Every structure is written in structure tokens, then in C-alpha cells.
Chain A
């Protein structure tokens, strides 16, 4: 019995070492977007990659978004970052600035990689000081979703691309008048909405050179006033108390919400659960049009010993047709490649009918201020915005307080 066990162990050892001899290189890939339902698709991508690159094995480790950045930080501090990992736009600068990422530009010549295959705005999101440190694998745009049935009931024409705030507010008021539990619009007052909405009104959170905050400008105060009035004056948006702990998507799905500003990652949920007719449109602006997006990218650990293999994986995830098709089939955000074929495939699926809006809104894209203390900035402004929303401060007071706190705490 003992002898058998020994033989088995030896055989296992030999097999293991032989597979190493075969020359397969293993790279580790740490990510958050492939945790949960999307794991199946990520595994399919890995299989396609390994088939095309038989000498490289990818060891995938997925962690839920809520825990991901804590774990990644711990690994960075311990000097045990994985070969390749995923970063979102808001954390990218923190890692790039600390010199933890491998600069990819010089390596592209070797692999004959042309960044032109990537959607330009998405690719630009992963550059720091003019250098490329990451490849965008996916992005999501934010759109105006609307409930056609409620529009019909309120006898309002559907949103068009040329809509402005005025049109949106007028429609929202009419839908709100339908019933005391029906609301016209949902658009949260928080950082990720605010930085874009101020641009729709000709304002900005930062000066053009990015050297100082311009949060408390007159244009921004006017913008916040409009947003707050939608909650408290016209009440087309339900207040926190009126929401009563219900989620904004759930409110839309329940058929009691005319319009909601949210990301295309809602498609899957809405296709599954909505029992009414709905569609999407590019967000309306006021004096200008402005939209925003969220992008995830693959970056490579500066200290990796498998730079080439990791780059091959990053390029595959960002630009290959296989990965892009798998992503589209799974409705897992959008591949960040500028391919007419992919766009056509994406647009052919319904609902929503107006999928073209997903790409059209890229024309008006604005990006958030790029600072190292991204999360802290978000929280400072977010706190003041919520004070204004709850009527604890006037929009002017809230933004002046935010300006003061940002000037004191955020190094630019």
C-alpha cells in the first residue's frame, strides 16, 4: 500500500515536471469584471486565447469588485502583484503614478500592435503623461432610458437626439402628473453624474489645465440648482424618503418611472425584467451635449517576468475578434474596438431598438478630472452634493464648501 502511494506520487511529480518542460508559460490574471455571472465568458476567452497561443497558460483569479481594490492594494504593497490585472479608470492613475505599471508603448513595435484598432477615447483613458500603460478591454456608456408606455400614456413624444433639458423636464413633469406613485425621471446627484451634467451646462469641475478646481463657479451652482429642483421642487425625481430603500433600476422595472439615466450594463436586467416597451436615447444637454462612460483596462505589472506573454493576453482581451464576439454574445459591456463589423453586430440585437445611441453618445464623451486622490475627491464632492439634495445646504453653499475642502485636501 505504501509502495503504491509512493509510485503514484512519483508519477504525479513526473507528469507535473513534464508539463513544465513542454515550455508552457503561465501568467496570472487578476480581475473583478469576471467574477459572478460573467465568469463563464471570461473562461471562454481564456480558452480561445490558449488555443491561439499554445505556449501560454492563463491563471485567472476573479474577485468581486467590492473586495478587489483592497486585495490589489495589499498585493502591490507586498510586491506580489499578478502579471496582468484589471484596473478601472478611477484607480488607473493611482497605479500609473506610482510607477507600478509597465509602459506598453515601446513593446507594441515588437508585437506589431496598432492602437488604431481600439476605440480612441477608450484607449486614451489608459494613458498617463502621454504614455500608454494599459489597454481598454471594455467600456459602457451612460444613456437616457425611457418607458415608452408611460410616454404614450402622458401623450409626450419620445426623446430624440436633439432633446435638451427643457424637453426632458417638460416630459418628466407630464409623466409625474399621471399618478402620485409615478415619477418622471431618475438621475442621482452624485459625483459621477455631476461632473458630466455641469459640462452639459457649459461648466466644468476643473480649469482647462487641470491645475485648480472650479467647482463653485456660477454655471455649476446653476446646474446643481436644476438638479436639486428636480427632486424637491417639481419632484419629478423621487427623494430618498420616497424611494424608501427601493433601487432606481427596480423603480424603472416596476413601470413607475418615465426616464432613468444609467449605464448600458442595465440592458441585461431590463431585457429580462421589463414588462413594458422601452428604448434608449443619447442624454439631452442644455447649452452643450455631454455624455460619460466607464472603461476597464488591462495593465501589466512592471516587475513581471512574463511581460511578453502578459502583453499577448492583454492585446487579445482588448482587440481580438474572438474576445469581442464572446463579449457581445454575453452582453457583457462593449468591446473597446473600432470595428464596423462589431458595431453592426451589436446594433442588430434588440431591444432596445435604438442601440445606435450607445455609439453615438461616444461623440459627446467627457472624462472625469484625473487626479491621484480620485476616491477622496469623489467623496468630498459627493457629501456636499447630497447635503444640497437633502436641502441641508443651498447649492451655492454646498459647492462653496466643496471647493474649500477640495482646495485644502486634494493635491493637483
Chain B
């Protein structure tokens, strides 16, 4: 498109950009920069900020060494990794399976598309409360169903080993609609000519899936993987609603479901340790950034943009 404004349009353009730019600057960029400054202090988040106060509570990289040197960070990171190892492959598989089902031109397909999408629209709090009941060891739906096939279900949210898988199940239910819709978009983008060619060559259904569909879906699957990984590190609402027992803070039982964002919230707003909380936040940022960068680096090995 030809630039019809020449150089003179800039003031007008800036004027139009200003409302959103100011918001971005004041409510996003500034706090991001400020939070790094705060992470170098022991500010409690309670007394009003002042230069003198900040300088007197200056600890340099002390908060970072406290977090990285303690057991808690690694335990919490371990919990997050446990979640990711279970969740990411399962959501990829589930999203792919559901989208393949929805992609079939059967009667009522659009009804099912809506059905799978409903959890996405449900508020996390409502959904998590329902799942708290489903996962209830004695009166819950899941253990009742397991009981019908002769399996004694675990104490989902009350057992340290099973609490995180319980959270994973809830997250799968909530997210599968969203990601299958993205994959469905990817399926629609695959040109039918590939399948026609495959048919002519006498390819079987599974060959078509593994040799045509899957390779051409890799860009979409890559996107889904990046998003789910970032989301996984930011796991929070389901933890907040589902993992409180006996008046204890979220992350129960015995810290088995403590994750990064929950720790950040607790340190900032429960323990009055804003400085430490911001250090956790920056470490979380570094981790997410690192993983995303690594994914971008290795994508050329398996992602195929030929579709």
C-alpha cells in the first residue's frame, strides 16, 4: 500500500496511538521495569515507597540468591515440571483427537464443537469447584466411575502423589476445547489436493494421517505447544481454588501443588515480601523466555511450513 500521508502524518498517527500507548506504558512497561528494581530490595509492599526506603532496603541480587539457594524454588519448579510432563503431551493428544473428530463432516458436528468449547467459556472458579467435587475421594464422580470397573480411586486432591494429576485432569477439561479449535483451523488449512494425491497413490487412512496430516499440522502443533508451555508455567487459578485444605493456604497437600505464580502471590500479598516476590517473577520470566527461545530454535527440526 502506498503511504499517502508522507512524513506529515506522524503527529496525527501519534495522537491516535496515544491512548493505548499510554496505557501500555503506564500499566505494563513501567511496572515491569519497576518490578526489576523492586526485586533488588526487601520492600514489604506495605509501607509507601520512597527513595530512602528503597535504598535502605537495597540487597542487590540477595533475593535471587535467596530464592535459588533455597530448597523451595526447586521443589516448586519440580511440581511445575510434573504438571508439564503430564499435561502438555496429554493436551496435544487430546486436542488432536478431538479436532479430528470434529473435522469429520458428520451431522451434529457443530453441536459438538460448541459442547467442547463450553468449558473454555466457564469461569475457572466455577469449573474448579465442580472438579473439586468430581475428584472428591468418597463422594466424587470420578472415583465412583473407577469403582464400577473395580478400581479403588486415589484421594485425588488430598494425596501428595495424586493432587497434581487431579489438577492436570481439570486443566485438560478446561483447555481441550480451545486448543482443538486451533488444531481444527490447522486441519482446514491443509489443501485437499494432498489427500487426493495420497488417494491416487493408494495410501491407507493411517498413512494419510502420519504422512500428510501430521507433518502439515506441525506449525499449529508448535503454536499449541508454545502456548501450553507458557500457560503451564503460569498455572494459578485452579491451584488457588482447588488446593486449600483445613484453612491452609493453596498448594496443599503439604506443598505438593505449590507452583511459581502461587508462590509469587503468597510472598507479595500474604507474607509482605514484595521484593522477594518480584525476584520470583523475574526468575519465572527468565524460565519462560528460555523455554520459548529453545522451542523456536529447535522448531526447524520438526516443524513443516509447506501447507
Contact = CB atoms under 8 A, between A and B. Distances in A.
Interface of A: 69-70, 73, 76-79, 94-95, 98, 100, 188-190, 192, 240-246, 372-373, 375-376, 379, 382-383, 386-387, 390, 392
Contacts of B48: 76-79
Given A240-B245, A245-B139, A245-B140, A390 B254 contact: yes
Nearest to A408: B70
Which range contains the number of B residues in contact with the other chain?
A: 20 to 34
A244 B143 CA distance: 11
A72 B160 CA distance: 34
B160 A392 contact: yes
A85 B32 CA distance: 31
A244 B45 contact: no
Given A240-B158, A246-B139, A379 B245 contact: no
Contacts of B247: 188, 190, 192, 382
A79 B137 CA distance: 47
A163 B237 CA distance: 45
A241 B269 contact: no
Contacts of B139: 244-246
A373 B272 CA distance: 8
Contact of A240 (B46, B155, B269): B155
Q: Which of A95, A244, A246, A375 has the most CB of B within 10 A?
A: A244
B245 A386 contact: yes
Contacts of B137: 241, 244-245
A384 to B, nearest CB: 8
A100 B45 CA distance: 13
Contact of A244 (B138, B245, B252, B253): B138
A373 B271 contact: yes
Contacts of A188: 246-247
Contact of B271 (A98, A189, A240, A375): A375
A188 B247 CA distance: 9
A376 B269 CA distance: 11
Interface in B120-160: 132-133, 136-140, 155, 158, 160
A149 B218 CA distance: 67
A288 to B, nearest CB: 25
Contact of B252 (A79, A100, A376, A386): A386
B45 A376 contact: no
B132 to A, nearest CB: 6
24 contacts: A69-B269, A73-B46, A73-B272, A76-B47, A77-B45, A188-B247, A190-B247, A240-B253, A241-B137, A241-B155, A241-B158, A242-B138, A243-B138, A244-B136, A244-B138, A245-B133, A245-B137, A245-B139, A376-B270, A379-B248, A382-B246, A386-B253, A386-B254, A390-B160
Contacts of A382: 246-249
Nearest to A190: B246
B165 interface: no
Contacts of A70: 269
Contact of B246 (A373, A376, A386): A386
A155 B93 CA distance: 60
A390 B140 contact: no
Interface in B10-53: 44-49
Contacts of B269: 69-70, 73
A243 B157 CA distance: 12
Nearest to B266: A379
B255 interface: yes
A98 B44 contact: yes
B249 A379 contact: yes
A100 B47 CA distance: 8
A377 to B, nearest CB: 10
B271 A376 contact: yes
A100 B253 CA distance: 35
Contacts of B46: 73, 76-77, 94-95, 98, 100
A410 to B, nearest CB: 10
Contacts of A94: 46, 272
B130 to A, nearest CB: 12
Interface in B86-106: none
Nearest to A70: B269
A386 B248 contact: yes
A189 B47 contact: no
Given A77-B45, A375-B270, A379-B248, 11 more contacts: A73-B272, A76-B48, A98-B46, A240-B158, A240-B245, A241-B138, A245-B133, A376-B270, A376-B271, A382-B246, A392-B160
